[in-house]
Structure 1
């Protein structure tokens, strides 16, 4: 939850019920970019104060440009979490990387997240070169400080030199433990211009609950199947029925091969039951109520290679 917010009654309302910002209020869009699996989604969840983006030890977890909203008495920051920038191997990968690259030019400020527990590599340099093509200010965020061994702290030098040659600000933190995030948040606000409320102060994401529900199901598949069913899964929320004491959710898990369907269902349906149980528990936290989750599995051969299938499942190149 966004803490220390002014009450709605204390704010003058403008068009659409969104409050009129007080003097010196700052706001803007902040893109979170970096290689796969450097902790971008974990960072956004930590800054917003609630889980809205899924996380996984598996690389390339994020697929959509998901906006998380942090509102404080001084500012409103709209975070744009992007897919990890990597060399694409299929149409889906091409869409994801294209969307991430477009986000670089469509925000007011960028946080370039790197893994401080590993040495500066070619993937980071590739992204740094992309950032040379934009005038958007950059903060280089050294994440995973909690995972740095004493001998690993020498890795900081390469990142700090990279930032110095490009005139970037830097911040070191752990998105997992929260260490250093207050300092990062202060830097973010300081680098934004004065501006309006873009969203109501109590909103934490621009995505509908259906989208978040689908992502929570996909997260459990990533956690429970790991490399067996890596990224050939898409979730479609077919129906949400809100009753007085329970919300019923019907969802289809799309895979590319019969073998993947078998893995997800598991022996006597055990894996599908576990996926459903874990996802349901996360959904109940989201809506703060009881959920009845019904899961179905469907084979869609080569859906990641088909532009039509990608569009049907909600994966399109962003236009803004």
Structure 2
């Protein structure tokens, strides 16, 4: 009779500049939506753990905000701290890049990643969007020359292509040891946090380019009752003009955001959801450390 396989567990940081697909990758790896996504950069603002337990291996993925340059507000500094402070705390780093693109932000992040002294896997995402596949191999060779990567994995977080290869490489690097979380736990975040993030995702997806970056969502009530959740949330914006945009003509924009958010919450919580939304103005919240802390933007 063969010996049971030794358990392995560890933390894996998913890092990259904004909009390279870190949250999409996390959700695909877990088989469930934990981290919100949108086509807009800087959708992810917090570190979020996604926990996958399969066989003898428990992998704790750390989804991080996109590391970016040029943002001068307090919230930009917060997001960069949340991402970069993760690097020294994990067992493996997966750095994501976008297809055939390589930018100055990628180069700056690579420098910080390699300084962390952890095994680094370079994940070249969105390869399904590359029309001329003959360009991929020379690009991978050029990337390999940039640093001493443990491995380079071309993949598609959207379709799931080659994720099994990535997971095998990660598992080989995790230390032996007991699991860090219960086998059925998917994330370290509460239902309350996930509800607020779902509302923010619907706003990010439905509004123009400017307003989403000037808003935050704060839950005032989250009650569990028999077979339902009663949720009240405030959407904070920085100017009265933004408030009008979020509410929309006759309140239609806010109603549609509420409808979409409620649908996703009911799917996630497997319960009926009664959702109430308000929009309020708090001038300059995104560049005020106290306001950020009160809204849950605290490096942990």
TM-score, normalised via structure 2 length: 0.95
Aligned to 1:74: 56
1:106 to 89, 114, 117: 89
Once the two structures are superposed, residues 291-314 of structure 1 have per-residue CA deviations (whole angstroms, 9 ceiling, x without a partner) of: 010001110100011110000001
Task: Please give the alpha-carbon distance, in whole angstroms, between the structure 2 residues aligned to 1:184 and 1:250.
Answer: 40
Unmatched runs of 5 consecutive residues or more in structure 2: none
* Cα distance in 2 for residues equivalent to 1:204 and 1:245: 21
Which of 234, 239, 242 is the matching residue for 1:257?
Answer: 239
> Which residue number in structure 1 is paired with residue 126 of structure 2?
144
The reply to whether residue 183 of structure 1 matches residue 165 of structure 2 is: yes
Q: Secondary structure at the match of 1:183?
A: helix
Identify the residue that residue 172 of structure 1 maps to in structure 2.
154
Tell me the CA shift for residue 282 of structure 1: 0.4
User: CA–CA distance in 2 between the matches of 1:206 and 1:214?
Assistant: 15
Could you tell me which of 270, 279, 282 is aligned with 1:300?
282
Q: Which residue of 1 aligns with 2:201?
A: 219
* Alignment CA distance shift 1:248-1:297 (3 Å): same
RMSD: 1.4
Number of the residue aligned with 2:143? 162
Does the 8 A contact of 2:140 with 2:152 survive in 1?
Answer: no
Partner residue in 1 for 2:223: 241
Structure 1 residue corresponding to 2:180, chosen from 198, 201, 226: 198
Q: TM-score, normalised by structure 1?
A: 0.89
- Structure 2 CA distance for aligned equivalents of residues 68 and 95 of structure 1: 21
Select which of 262, 269, 272 maps to 1:290: 272
Structure-2 residue corresponding to 1:210: 192
**Distance change >3 Å, CA 131–CA 156, structure 1 → 2:** farther
Equivalent positions of 1:11-26 (< 5 A) are: 23-26=5-8
* 2:105 is the counterpart of 1:123: yes
Q: Which runs of 5+ in 1 are unaligned?
A: 1-21
**Partner SS for 1:55:** coil
Shift of 1:198: 0.4
